[in-house]
Amino acid sequence: MALVEPVPDAPAAVADLPDERALVVADYHAGIEVGLRYQRGVELESNASVRRERLLALLDDVDADRLVVLGDLAHRIAAPEGEERDELEALIDAVTERVPFTLVVGNHDPGVAEEFADDLDVIGSGGGRIGDVGFVHGHTWPDAEVLGADVVCMGHEHPQVKLEDAVGGSRTERAWLRGPLKREPFVAEVGPDVNETWNDPELVVFPAFNDRSGGTWINVEGQEFLAPFLPDALADGDAYLLDGTRLGNYRRV
């Protein structure tokens, strides 16, 4: 079994860590409905309880010993308050009653990491390693230590593919990206320490757990990646649907 294996039909994976089995997800975006209301004038009923129960069910289904969230646990880029804080408190309480909760700090998370520091195991924005698995959000260049892992897991991109049928209909689906990382972009930006830690890691880019958060259409011309090292550092990656369907090279889907 691979160190990181997607859960069939779910935006989540299982990671084999030293002495632990972790459920890994990315981009939970608690409180997104509040953000959509104030930022875009979109009124949606809160899906907080549905998100929480879906995540708790996955923890049980895979018999996880830990939850790792690859950043953007919250939606608001500030200290959480109101409905968003209520959702976070309910989620963190429910998870930590079962297993330890690790948060990799994303661009939306500084306020959450500080506010809930007593309840969470926090990995900084440069990422970190647990055994042979590296974890980053993806909004910054990772620390050199992360690149010594066998597999690097990241979020931030919310990758999606736009699929069209023979009669012109189309739909958008969340997708995984997987492939070998190229060293050169990291040496240029992170520094020569990368050469000492480099382990030819595989990159796994996670789909967003939150299905209301939009994303990067990886097969639509003109769409740009969000991570500073993509697409340059992932030249030969493949795209997969949540059900495991391999779509081939993500640049040519």
In this predicted model, what pLDDT tens digit does every residue of 139-159 receive, in sequence order?
A: 999 999 999 999 999 999 999
Asked if pLDDT for residue 214 goes beyond 60, the answer is yes
Q: What is the pLDDT of residues 49-80, one digit of tens each?
A: 999 999 999 999 999 999 999 999 988 766 77
Q: Tokens 């998100």 identify what position?
A: 51
Q: Model confidence at 110, in pLDDT bands (50, 70, 90)? A: confident
pLDDT band with cut points at 50, 70 and 90 for residue 43:
low
Query: In the prediction, which pLDDT does 45 show?
Result: 75
**How far is it, in rounded angstroms, from Cα 83 to Cα 90?**
11
In this structure, are residues 203 and 154 in contact, taking their beta carbons and an 8 Å threshold? yes
Global confidence as pTM: 0.93
Domain 11-252 has CATH 3.60.21: yes
DSSP of 129-182: EETTEEE--SSSPPPGGGGGSSEEEE-SS-EEEEEE-TTS-EEEEEEEEEEEPP
pLDDT at 36 over 60: no
Name the token pair of 235.
Answer: 């030249």
Q: How confident is the model at residue 37 (pLDDT cuts 50, 70, 90)?
A: low
Beta bridge partners of 161: 173
Q: Where are the domains of the chain?
A: 11-252
pLDDT at 96 over 70: yes
The closest of 36, 45, 14, 28 to 90, measured between CA atoms, is 28
Angle (deg, nearest 10), helices 82-96 and 32-40: 160
Binning pLDDT at 50, 70 and 90, where does residue 40 land?
low
Residue with structure tokens 């923890």?
59
Q: Give the mean model confidence (pLDDT) for residues 192-209.
A: 95
Packing angle, helices 82-96 and 48-61, rounded to 10: 20
> Residue 137 and residue 208: Cα distance in Å, rounded?
11
**Host H or E run for residue 52:** helix 48-61
